[in-house]
Structure 1
């Protein structure tokens, strides 16, 4: 195969109320709304297109691993521990449900947070080297 996958362009997230959820992502996470209708909203967030898709209740992007632990399917990155701590504090101030900052035994630190529909996301204190190089961070 001479061609390869270059990047993740879009992530789809199930939500029960597209309008309310899009407002939450814009106001709480700083996403930019680029389109909305009754079935979906398209947001720009963290150099990616995020589709909030109207779904039935009790749907989420989470899954259960073989040990019975609920897992997230998406990790956001910030530039260092100070940035992670600042984002964590800001999320708490914005009344976003967040977990504690954790040491998971690898480089950096993490915490989890949840949206209005209990979609669970991760935040990691380490930017990928390729992203740093590309954006001169």
Structure 2
């Protein structure tokens, strides 16, 4: 089997207001805006391109799992527990809605947070092998 896919290049996120959302992603997550118009903003961060697409007000990423809990579809990685704790504390100072740091029974620790539009994301304290070659 040939492995053609090398990485995820772009993620599309539904937002109500691309300009407002772009400013939030820049301030909170350190994104760099490359383009913006009335319908979308294109950002670079986390080694990926993110399109913030103007969507219907009720649209957001996340789904209910088999237990009825809202589940994320994207996990950001940080370099270790100390960075996870620092990022969690930073998000608290910015009044971002977020969950507690938790042990989910696998290596590392996680927490979830929400952007301005209710999109839910996960953060994990373990870097993928390609990024952990330090």
Alignment of 1:1-137 (within 5 A): 2=2, 4-133=4-133, 137=134
Distance 1:2 1:70 in 2: 35
Taking only aligned residues, the RMSD between alpha carbons, in angstroms, comes to 1.0
Distance 2:109 2:57 in 1: 32
Q: TM-score, normalised by structure 1?
A: 0.94
Distance 2:96 2:3 in 1: 41
Deviation at 1:2? Answer: 3.8
Deviation at 1:66? Answer: 1.6
Deviation at 1:3? Answer: 5.0
Deviation at 1:96? Answer: 1.2
Q: TM-score, normalised by structure 2?
A: 0.96
Aligned length: 134
Distance 1:3 1:108 in 2: 28
SS in 1 for 2:7: coil
Distance 1:79 1:3 in 2: 27
Which 4+ runs in 1 deviate beyond 3 A?
Answer: none
**Runs of 5+ in structure 2 lacking a partner?**
none
